[in-house]
Amino acid sequence: MYERVVVPLDGSKLAEVALPYAEELAAKLDCHIVLLTVNESEGNSDSEDYRRYSSKMVGITKRHAEKYLDEKRTRPFVVGAASRKGNPADEILGYVRNGGFSLVVMASHGRSGIRRWAVGSVADKVVRGTKWEPVLLVRAKDNRSDIREKRILRRALVPLDGSEVSRSIIPHIREIARKLKMEMVLLQVVPSVQDQETAKEYLQHECVELKRDGIVAGFEVGVGYAADRIIDLANELACDLVAMSTRGRTSLLPWTLGSVAQKVFLGGDTPLLLAKAFNNGEAEMPETLPAR
């Protein structure tokens, strides 16, 4: 399904929290990992806060970046590394677009140390700038880059709202779940208890389709505000991943401030796999993607 997993790094331990997740995915999806660093020249940042937090990266030479990458080449499934100079988000997006089918795995923040994922951050720009490539965001709230469990990703929560655009995440997470033998829990959040029965019928049908692919799948129906229920259920079920489309009935524009996807990331601790809807005329998925 994917040819490579791209892992952007900024030289910090916080950014390296993404590496164990990338390694598990690469091992099971039969693809390789490419590491990417970007040396940001002064003046490229969009805000004073970001310039201040990222000041340690300014002036780091290409030689230092290459030395850092050489140290990381010994990680499992890493077959390549690249360093670029310029705006981090722009360089990451350019590298991803020019290299075939890619899955991006990155920490929500690294050297910046910002406690919440601010609009305008590199991670936010990468998510908004991708065409169809999914992005797995890992909260870098502490240094977990030394995780060495054989299986980090065991259970995924997949929020759906009944729309086709919300189902755009299914081809991505279905393949990942099948290869990693992950359990999938489908969730639909409805505004009132009167809507629960319809939601159950919809989710049961989706589960049947997944089970035909050999995937262990169950479902939950929640009542209330979508983002809150997603966050709560991910914690209650000890999910290792939340996978969702960035566009659906719950948000009018992809990845807008206030969208469910963004609120789930800001308010939750669970890694978040995001993919843009590909049947809305804006993010068309390549026809060859489902192959393999």
Mean pLDDT split into 10-residue runs, the chain, 292 residues: 87 86 93 87 47 44 70 78 86 86 81 41 82 86 50 93 89 94 96 94 96 96 94 95 75 52 84 78 43 30
Strand-pair partners of 137: 106, 272
Query: How many helices (H) and strands (E) would you count in the chain?
Result: 9, 10
pLDDT for position 233? 96
User: What pLDDT does residue 62 have?
Assistant: 62
Rounded distance, CA 242 to CA 156, Å? 6
Predicted pLDDT at 186: 98
CB atoms within 10 A of CB 43: 8
Q: Token match 């963004």: residue?
A: 262
| Residue 146 and residue 17 in contact, taking contact as beta carbons nearer than 8 Å | no
Residue with tokens 């998925």: 285
> Which residues are CB-neighbours of 103 under 8 A, at least 6 positions away?
2, 4, 5, 6, 25, 29, 31, 133, 134, 135, 136
**Dihedrals φ, ψ of 64, to 5°?**
-65, -40
Helices 260-267, 226-236: axis angle to 10 degrees equals 40
| Pair type for strands 155-159 and 217-223 | unpaired
The pLDDT of residue 61 is: 57
Distance CA 37, CA 117 (A): 20
Catalogue all structural domains in the chain, each as residue range(s) with its CATH number: 4-138 (3.40.50.620), 155-275 (3.40.50.620)
Residue from 184, 176, 14, 24 nearest 109 by CA: 14
In angstroms, rounded to a whole number, what is the distance separating the alpha carbons of residues 77 and 103? Answer: 14
CB 172 within 8 A of CB 275: yes
**Which pTM value belongs to this model?**
0.82
For residue 212, the model assigns a pLDDT of 94
Looking at residue 185, its pLDDT comes to 98
Residues 93 and 126: beta-carbon distance below 8 Å: yes
pLDDT at 187: 97
